Amino acid sequence: MEKIKIYNGKVVTPHRVINGGCILIGGGKILEVSASDIVAEDATEINAMGNYISPGFIDLHVHGGAGHDFMDNEVEGYLAIAELHAKHGTTALMPTTLSSEHQDLLDTLSVYEAADARNTMGAKFIGIHIEGPYFSMEQRGAQDPRYIREPVRAEYEEIIDSSRHIKRWSAAPELKGALEFAEYMVERDILPSIAHTNAIYEEVLPAFEKGFSHATHFYSCMSGVSRRNAFRYAGVIESAYLLDAMTVEIIADGIHLPPPLLKLVLKIKGADRTALVTDAMRAAGMPPGPSILGSRSDGLEVIVEDNVAKLKDRSAFAGSVATMDRLVNNMVVMAGATLEDAVKMASLTPANIIGIGNRKGSLVAGKDADVIIFDDGVNIMETIVSGKRIYTKPI
């Protein structure tokens, strides 16, 4: 693989921005990061023109984009989604499922491997995130109620045995069998995440101790303070704040979470415990109008307006149409985050959450050469995945 030298830029690290920085890439890895010019006569040179040189974004929760959903179970759809998000700075992502028929899920898992082998021009796939079907019916959101149910060990064992690529599974911890489910996930090196849940603190705490250490799309489809028999109980939201070690992910599109809540999450959980995710559905990168959440054959009809997907009756959101570049910019503009923290929430923090921070998420010699260049508005100028130039903004 060719060597690439990126110079005349502002290098974003987890702790500072290095003005006039330079980075050298070779063999798919970062070879050197410097505050001054690097001599490399055999390298292809990219002039960053004073823009930011940043680690690529890592999206742990994405369903689709460019008119496709991963649950369409089409290789070409997988590739189109990966290419769309790469243009917006995502260099690694986790294809995410929805509650569905058992066989549909197995089919999605089988398509992943074929798509991964052909994915040369998009964000790299870093494992599958299964979202559902073990959810609270009351907090199902846009998840199809036909498939919501309690964990069944024989079922989830079959699913996990069918694919070595499952890295994360979102479920409601208060359900019967959920703690046993979490123990099994941890045994198989899969991250159990709290999602679509009505749990109270007294249920979250033992679940956290069993491995439910992360909260899926924080605030969305989860319990806050509630009353039971006149007594108040803390919900999942308060539990995540109380448990310092619990990580969270937020859809920072300014719609799922308005600016005051973005500020609150950043203030309490901080950039090291908060990951940005798009939760993007197929309409990401597409014009407003009718769309489908989930597979074309068995999905839910939705409407995209006001930069978000909604149920047709407009009673609830039905997914995001955001991209990671927009989320990073929003954290700076809406939440008052430093650029370093906003980028960390989109790179190193998600990498650490999913256990790949030793090789991705920051510009450090020896790590994968997943690098992007963007301007002051976080508009992507260049995307490099594993040392390969995937996208260059047209002049």
Q: Residue 135 corresponds to which amino acid?
A: F
In this structure, are residues 194 and 215 in contact, taking their beta carbons and an 8 Å threshold?
yes
What domains lie within the chain, and their CATH numbers?
4-53+366-392 (2.30.40.10), 57-354 (3.20.20.140)
Do 86 and 382 form a contact (C-beta atoms < 8 A)?
no
Tokens of 344: 């960390």
Task: In whole angstroms, give the CA distance from residue 329 to residue 7.
Answer: 23
pLDDT for 11 equals: 97
Q: How far is CA 104 from CA 65, 130, 156, 336, in A?
A: 19, 12, 14, 42
C-alpha–C-alpha distance, residues 253 and 46, integer Å: 31
pLDDT tens digits along 261-304: 999 999 999 999 999 999 999 999 999 999 999 889 888 899 99
What are the tokens at 394? 């047209």
Q: Which of 382, 394, 293, 393 is nearest to 91 (CA)?
A: 382
Let me know: does 116 contact 94? Beta carbons within 8 Å: no
Tens digits of residue pLDDT in 109-163: 999 999 999 999 999 999 999 999 999 999 988 888 898 999 999 999 999 999 9
Structure tokens at 336: 């008052």
* pLDDT per residue as tens digits for the range 31-81: 999 999 999 989 999 999 999 999 999 999 999 999 999 999 999 999 999
What are the residues facing 34 on neighbouring strands? 22
SS3 268: helix
How many angstroms separate the CA atoms of 106 and 162, rounded? Answer: 7
Q: Between these two residues, 241 and 299, which has the higher pLDDT value?
A: 241
Evaluate if residue 168 carries a pLDDT over 90.
yes
Cα separation, 190 vs 182, in Å, equals 9
Question: 331-379 pLDDT, tens per residue?
Answer: 999 999 999 999 999 999 999 999 999 999 999 999 999 999 999 999 9
The model carries a pTM of 0.97
Query: How would you classify the pairing of strands 4-12 and 17-26?
Result: antiparallel
Q: What is the pLDDT of residues 180-229, one digit of tens each?
A: 999 999 999 999 999 999 999 999 999 999 999 999 999 999 999 999 98
